[in-house]
Amino acid sequence: MDMEFFKNISMTGRLCFLFMCIEKYLVSLYPDRDWTPVAERLWAWTENDWATAQEASDQIIPEYLMEFRTYDETNRRCFDGDLSENLYRKMISLYAGITDGNPDDEINQVLFTTVEWGTLCEGAAFSGADAPTIGYLEWMVSILEEHSIELPDYEAVASMTKDQKNGWGEFCNCRYLSIILK
């Protein structure tokens, strides 16, 4: 895949492509699981303030969810009391047999990309986040290629150009790009 394409795509467009890749990864490698709670949290980023959306998506990261042994301890120490017990139980069940929260597990690294992305972009100018976000997309594409997973259609984000909102792009409901939420 030619990453030159993404040099003209807004951060929102790039984030959408990242989410499309994450979804392809999840449904291709673990097709028997219902990834809806993950997809809902990811796609919320395109509609809201990124800081708020990232806090919500952090609640789907295996490394964070499984750092402690109980819901109460995880909720208190990782999520300042903002994690619902229902979501916690759903996510623990969803990851059963796939990961124990080890940061080196590939699924954790794939989902943790959203944490890294958010940290990189927080308070940054487009120019500061430009090259690193393309690097994250390159890495994600390499993971899909390593597993022989068909890449998402990058043309789906072609209209999300960097001339929108100083390179960041407009907030939008981009759930229509999801293969899980359809």
- Domain boundaries defined on the chain: 3-177
pTM of the model: 0.94
Closest CA to 169 of 137, 121, 103: 121
Q: Dihedrals φ, ψ of 159, to 5°?
A: -80, -10
Rounded CA separation 92/83 (Å): 13
Mean pLDDT over residues 154-158, rounded?
95
Q: Could you tell me what percent of the chain has a pLDDT over 90?
A: 73
For 99-150, the pLDDT digits (tens) are 999 999 999 999 999 999 988 888 888 888 889 999 999 999 999 999 999 9
